[in-house]
Amino acid sequence: MLAGLAVLAFIVLEFFAIRFSWKAITSTRTSQGAVGWVVFLIAAPYLGVPLYLFLGHHKFNNYLIARRDSEQVIDSLRDFANANAPETETVIPVEPFERIAELPAVRGNSMQLLIDGEQTFEALFAAIDAAQTYVLVQFYIINDDGQGRALRERLIAAANRGVSVRLMFDAVGSAKLKAGFLDPLREAGVEMADPEQARGPKNRYQLNFRNHRKTVIVDGTIGFTGGFNVGDEYMGLNPKFGDDWRDTHAVLRGPIISQLQLIFAEDWHWATEQNIVQGLEWEAPYAPENMTGMIMPTGPGDDMETGALFFFSAIVAAKQRLWIASPYFVPDTDVLTALKHAALRGVDVRILVPEVIDHTIPWLAAFAYFDEIRAAGVEVWRYDSGFMHQKVVLVDDGLAAIGTTNMDNRSFRLNFEAMALFFDSRAAEATAQMLEADFARSFRLEKNLAEQPAKVRYGAPIARLFSPVL
């Protein structure tokens, strides 16, 4: 009897192994990846089939996009683009980025950099405290600690004075949040897209897909995005990382807020099936700085691999300077080749990564790429004054991007991300000054992999094997 059940179970597993193998052959991005999955699935179905369910997908089917789901929104976007079109031509062409984002570059914006936890949370909390009609909040991680409770208190206070408050957080990033933290928010009337109740990845064997966006919008007139989540470590209070948690957030004003708000509405629509577009303010006043900007949303719900295409487009646009700060460096082949080609063209290419470890496998995997890019002339800088978590891209004197997208395969094709792009020399200059200060607190990598300690020499090639999901 038991033998018969075992044979039946093996036949069922082999059926799914063959089915998933065909899916891997037809959908995996590289032939090497397809071969790897096929061999693994057929040779070890007991391991391969369960792992493929969680890790074998790179597209999030049926993700409902609010702007594609409503003709009225599409028409409004067209009118929005015409009404807010840039008045002058930008140094860096906007067209590739517009096509990737399916959103237009618009004039009338401003951007202010926030470079530490004190600046960021002071500005965030002040904006929430000043809210008059609504607050939209989304973070990958919210911790039940001092900083998390400070956010909760402000959201409850806003709701108590009649402000509409909506809150989203990721099921994986905020997995430790319990009812004791969330119940007071519900009792105050805060609406939540609770991952425990949402119809998102948590319920579809797709935990590998994560919403990594970090957004706060107040009254449709001021917005925030960047690298900061909500937790004490982002204030430099975790001894593991020291008292210097280096991150970057940005305060946004102008029509770009409407785009950031639209992305929030899309995510809310997916999680709750509620369309909140009609209840929001879509006429943000122009900022006097009049910068041309746009939001670049990317994720596995898109038809194209938009995350990788964003980086590729930024790299090929560079003529003099390309500076990228990212806590993780696990690029795909196309982006890796583009980086090397940019350096070979004479572009000043610098990659700023942390020396301090937060996640060991991606930290090790990065070393497997450093020799290759350094040989082409790319400079690798390692921030060692604390942990560096910012996601920043600077191209020449014409493009600065701040947001949530890391330079790794996870951000390229597995996470939902967002970057704020500014095609403006003033934004580029402010970003350059910020990064120059970071380089001054970093050291340039000079050692090859063969000269690294044993754990790096042997760990990096092994960690690189996991690069498709890092």
At 202 the pLDDT is: 46
State residue 246's pLDDT score. Answer: 95
pLDDT at 279: 87
Give me the pLDDT at residue 293, please.
97
- Active site (catalytic) residues: 212, 214, 219, 389, 391, 396
How many CA atoms lie within 13 Å of 220's alpha carbon, on the beta-carbon side?
16
pLDDT tens per residue, the chain (470 residues)?
Answer: 556 555 565 566 666 667 766 666 666 655 555 665 566 566 666 565 566 565 555 555 555 555 555 555 556 666 777 778 787 889 999 999 999 999 999 999 999 999 999 999 999 999 999 999 999 999 999 999 999 999 999 999 999 999 999 999 998 889 889 889 999 999 999 999 876 665 544 444 345 678 999 999 999 999 999 999 999 999 998 888 877 899 999 999 999 999 999 999 989 988 888 889 888 999 899 999 999 999 999 988 778 889 999 999 999 999 999 999 999 999 999 999 999 999 999 999 999 999 999 889 999 999 999 999 999 999 999 999 999 999 999 999 999 999 999 999 888 888 899 999 999 999 999 999 999 999 999 999 999 999 999 999 999 988 888 776 65
CA angle 87/92/94 to nearest 5° reads: 65
| CA–CA separation, 137 and 299 (whole Å) | 19
Q: What separation in angstroms does the CA of 290 have from each of 93, 179, 224, 403?
A: 17, 44, 18, 20
pLDDT at residue number 44: 64
CB burial of 114-126 (b: ≥16 within 10 Å; e: otherwise) equals bbbbebbbebbee
d(CA 388, CA 386): 6
Measured from the Cβ of residue 71, the count of other Cβ atoms closer than 10 Å reads: 8
One-letter-per-residue 3-state SS of the chain: CHHHHHHHHHHHHHHHHHHHHHHHHHHCCCHHHHHHHHHHHHHCHHHHHHHHHHHCCCCCCCCCCHHHCCHHHHHHHHHHHHHCCCCCCCCCCCHHHHHHHCCCCEEEEEEEEECCHHHHHHHHHHHHHCCCCEEEEEECCECCCHHHHHHHHHHHHHHHCCCEEEEEECCCCCCCCCHHHHHHHHHCCCEEECCCCCCCHHHCCCCCCEECCCEEEECCCEEEEECCCECHHHHCCCCCCCCCEECCEEEEECCHHHHHHHHHHHHHHHHHCCCCHHHCCCCCCCCCCCEEEEEEEECCCCCCCHHHHHHHHHHHHCCCEEEEECCCEECCHHHHHHHHHHHHCCCEEEEEEECCCCCHHHHHHHHHHHHHHHHCCCEEEEECCCEECCCEEEECCCEEEEECCCEEHHHHHCEEEEEEEECCHHHHHHHHHHHHHHHHCEEECCCCHHHCCHHHHHHHHHHHCCHHHC
| Predicted TM-score (pTM) of this structure | 0.88
Q: How far, in Å, CA of 157 to CA of 160, rounded?
A: 5
What single-letter amino acid sits at 256?
I
